[in-house]
Amino acid sequence: MTSVTALCQPPPLSLVASSGVSSEFALEIRHLRTTFPGPDGPVAIVDDVSLAVRPGEMLAVVGESGSGKSMTFLSALGLVPKPGRVESGEVLVGGRDLMRMRPEELRACRGSAISIIFQDPMSGLNPVFSVGEQIGEVLRAHRRISPAQAKTQAIDLLNRVQIPDARRRFDHYPHQFSGGMRQRVLTAMAIAHGPQVLIADEPTTALDVTVQAQVLDLIDSLRREAGMAVVLITHDLGIVARHADRMVVMYAGRLVEEGPVGEVFAAPRHPYTISLLRCIPHLDAPAGADLMSISGQPPLSGSVRQGCPFEARCYVGRGREECRGTRPQLEAVGSPAHLSACHFSQSLEEEEARA
Amino acid sequence: MSAADVTSTPLLKVSDLVKTFGTEGGLFSKGVPVRAVDGVSFSIRAGETLGMVGETGSGKSTLGRLVLKLLEPTAGTIEFQGTDVTRLRGGRARSLRGNMQMVFQDPYGSLNPRMTIGELIREPMVVHGYGRDEITARLESTMRQVGVDPRMATRYPHEFSGGQRQRIAIARALVLDPKLLILDEPVSALDVSIQAQILNLLRDIQRRTGIAYLFIAHDLAVVRHISDRVAVMYLGKIVEIASREQLYGAPRHPYTKALLSAVPVPDPIKERSKQRIALHGEIGSAASMPGGCRFHPRCFRARQAAREPSVAVEGWGAESLPSACVREVPDFISIATEHVVACHFSGLEDRFAVTTNEHSNGQAVAIADLT
């Protein structure tokens, strides 16, 4: 052993956006709209969301609970719980629209071309089957292989997700794994068929911080190896800062800001993003200062039917005619890749000084 | 125990507290006692905030419940304002709880859904025999203090959001004017924008009333924001206690160092130039406790120390580790004012090798799966 302790350091930010990212999209969502019935007609939980991820790229989807970030991707995969309904939109994976597929085509596509990891690593595994059997089942769902081949491939997968002693671990049951190891097993299942797109919905929220780092590093290295596009749904801006190339910020079912991670953190152009960044305690901020807080509560997605959904809590727009009456659209601010949906995105500094 | 205790009588003093769970056997197994809290000592002064951080299974929540006497300790003592309260029962335990209250993580589970907000906040006062006029006056002033309109007193918990419910839980805990509030993950179920509101509220209340907090949480940035001193727990033991500045600025225990390096900072430039210490394996479990220093299976410093010629080593799996780490429980060593650390090699200067992301993953995780 030459060095006992490794310090892990991610690549510098400037290199990230260009490395191994091609221009064709692995996943493209266009004008997706999902509604739930409400007392005054359908309520849009996902409201005209468009986004795209390139192969090898990690896109972070940021937002608070109820912002529609998970629902966007459940909608994309045809997994919206009843009585929700995808009203319109296209979801293109490798050029094919998932929305127009027949149920059996969609099932074949899920798990092979696009797959998803959820937050809770326990509920994704069946407690009465061994981990190896469950991975084998996933493998055999889309491919005709013998049990022996399935076992070999399952052990390979356990090795790829860096589970030590994979051959022995194959026969173990979920309760014999720790939370971090279970999340690795689920990751192994999700990548079993080499998907082009992996959606990770708060994959580490239930895990401790030291384990969280390991699982995210694993997802990061898998996407680099395989050129897989990753959508990381999270509320943790620290994780976004470390791992993602681009980010979108959601509020009340809509995208409010989108851009390269370095740009959005350095110069956020939507008051909600700005507030969000200021209200989290930092490990290196002067301790003892009060945190900025956003007044009020986030609205339920779709409950604000006109104007900007953030208006009631916004330090710039609260009570303003424009913000109450007209829904702002995403527009380029600064660079072409950086978009913000705010009437005042070009003059936020002056507006803030005035407020 | 430490330099932290030199001032006059602390508000709360906990000495060698132990809590063992579950000695019964199951259907297929013999019972193994789990030492959830294993010899914990610390103190809290009036008006200060002690942050208690640790990962799953560190025993930090059990500790909070022991201090409040919701659980009986297996051994050790708890002193409140200089009086031993470890074995108090009945009415005297109840009157103690007037001085010590608790706020739990889940604002959905901790409020009875069939009681109105007013009834919920009134209940502790009724139990403690307050007069009717005082109850009415206090109900109003406490609701104002936590930022909930007193006219809401007739509503039920389900009519409020998570953040508001946490305010109500805080009001219920504050209404008896306690001297110590134990907060168990009070903001971790809340969205970040709401979390900031609650943290600011807690700070305001402390400035106004001089109440002391035992703030239990896993989020190191949140704990730093609110605490004067911070204790770090690992598998039932405190491994380091220091002032906020010392603990975050000059951490000395290898676990504290690794934990701090793992927290992702919401700043891409800093975060991507940051070096993170890779730990071996995952957090152990209190049910199969490692002997000696319980951090040794994951510790980078033990592995470095093992290569010093003067250190006696022994085989541990495929590796050799210092005998001291494998066999002896480390005592607290005072290394600065109000800064104690439990490590056999607290004086050793840590040396790290830097790897880049592509190649570090194996090293970060592959050494041992301890579960």
Q: How far is CA A330 from CA A298, B179, B253, B345, in A?
A: 20, 51, 48, 56
* 3-state secondary structure (DSSP) of residue A332: strand
Q: Greater confidence, B57 or B44? A: B44
Question: Residue B352 and residue A211: Cβ atoms within 8 Å?
Answer: no
Question: How many angstroms away from the CA of B204 is the closest CA of chain A?
Answer: 10
Question: How many angstroms away from the CA of B88 is the closest CA of chain A?
Answer: 36
Q: By the 8 A CB rule, do B116 and B154 touch?
A: yes
Residues of B in Cβ contact (< 8 Å) with A242: 264, 268, 271-272
Question: Residue A209 and residue B55: Cβ atoms within 8 Å?
Answer: yes
Residues of B in Cβ contact (< 8 Å) with A9: 272-276, 354-357, 360
- pLDDT at site B5: 45
- pLDDT at site B277: 85
pTM here is 0.87
Question: How many angstroms away from the CA of A296 is the closest CA of chain B?
Answer: 8
Q: Is A339 exposed, middle or buried (0-12, 13-18, 19+ CB in 10 A)?
A: buried
- pLDDT at site B4: 45
Residues of A in Cβ contact (< 8 Å) with B300: 4-5
- pLDDT at site B363: 32
Contacts of A145 (CB under 8 A, 6+ apart): A139, A153
Question: Residue B262 and residue A261: Cβ atoms within 8 Å?
Answer: no
Question: Residue A8 and residue B276: Cβ atoms within 8 Å?
Answer: yes
- pLDDT at site B259: 92
In 10 A of CB A287, how many CB atoms? 16
Q: Which of B203, B283, B360 sits opposite A208 (nearest CB)?
A: B283
Question: How many angstroms away from the CA of A262 is the closest CA of chain B?
Answer: 6
Three state DSSP letters for chain B: CCHHHCCCCCCEEEEEEEEEECCCCCCCCCCCCEEEEEEEEEEECCCCEEEEECCCCCCHHHHHHHHCCCCCCCEEEEEECCEECCCCCHHHHHHHHHHEEEECCCCCCCCCCCCCHHHHHHHHHHHCCCCHHHHHHHHHHHHHHCCCCHHHHHCCHHHCCHHHHHHHHHHHHHCCCCCEEEEECCCCCCCHHHHHHHHHHHHHHHHHHCCEEEEEECCHHHHHHHCCEEEEEECCEEEEEEEHHHHHHCCCCHHHHHHHHHCCCCCHHHHHHCCEECCCCCCCCHHHCCCCCCCHHHCHHHHHHCCCCCCCEEEECCEEEEHHHHHCCCCCEEEECCEEECCCCCCCCCCCEEEEHHHHHHHHHCCCCCC
Average pLDDT over residues B224-228: 94
Find, in chain A, the residue whose alpha carbon is nearest to that of B360: A8
Find, in chain A, the residue whose alpha carbon is nearest to that of B189: A65
What is the per-residue pLDDT across B58-101, written as a single tens digit (0 to 9) for each? 899 999 999 988 899 999 999 999 999 998 887 888 888 889 99
Question: How many angstroms away from the CA of B20 is the closest CA of chain A?
Answer: 22
Find, in chain B, the residue whose alpha carbon is nearest to that of A265: B267
**Is residue B9 over pLDDT 70?**
yes
- pLDDT at site B29: 63
Convert B244-279 to b/e letters by CB count within 10 Å (16 or more is b). bebbbeebbbbbbbbbbbbbbbbbbeebbebebbbb
In A168-301, the DSSP E strands lie at 197-201, 229-234, 246-251, 254-260
- pLDDT at site B184: 94
Question: Residue B192 and residue A276: Cβ atoms within 8 Å?
Answer: yes
What is the per-residue pLDDT across B313-367, written as a single tens digit (0 to 9) for each? 998 888 899 999 999 999 999 999 899 999 999 999 888 776 544 433 333 322 2
- pLDDT at site B282: 66
pLDDT band at B30 (very low <50, low <70, confident <90, very high): low
Q: Which of B185, B183, B289 is nearest to B236 (CA)?
A: B289
| Beta bridge pairs of residue A27 | A53, A93
Residues of A in Cβ contact (< 8 Å) with B161: 297
Average pLDDT per run of 10 along chain A, which is 355 residues long?
Answer: 46 45 80 91 92 96 91 94 93 91 89 87 84 92 90 92 88 88 90 93 85 87 91 94 96 95 96 93 78 82 83 90 94 93 92 79
- The bridge status of strand B276-277 relative to strand A6-9 is antiparallel
Mean pLDDT value across chain B: 87
- pLDDT at site B186: 93
Question: Residue B191 and residue A164: Cβ atoms within 8 Å?
Answer: no
What is the per-residue pLDDT across B259-304, written as a single tens digit (0 to 9) for each? 999 899 999 998 888 888 877 766 666 677 788 999 999 999 999 9
Find, in chain B, the residue whose alpha carbon is nearest to that of A206: B56
Here the ipTM equals 0.83
C-alpha atoms less than 13 angstroms from C-alpha of B131 in its C-beta half-sphere: 2
- pLDDT at site B350: 87
Question: Residue A5 and residue B259: Cβ atoms within 8 Å?
Answer: no
- pLDDT at site B134: 95
What is the per-residue pLDDT across B243-270, written as a single tens digit (0 to 9) for each? 999 999 999 999 999 999 989 999 999 8
Residues of B in Cβ contact (< 8 Å) with A11: 272, 356-357
- pLDDT at site A132: 93
**Is residue B146 over pLDDT 70?**
yes
User: Which DSSP state fits A110?
Assistant: B
Question: How many angstroms away from the CA of A164 is the closest CA of chain B?
Answer: 6
Question: Residue A6 and residue B193: Cβ atoms within 8 Å?
Answer: no
Q: Greater confidence, A125 or B181? A: B181
Residues of A in Cβ contact (< 8 Å) with B244: 287
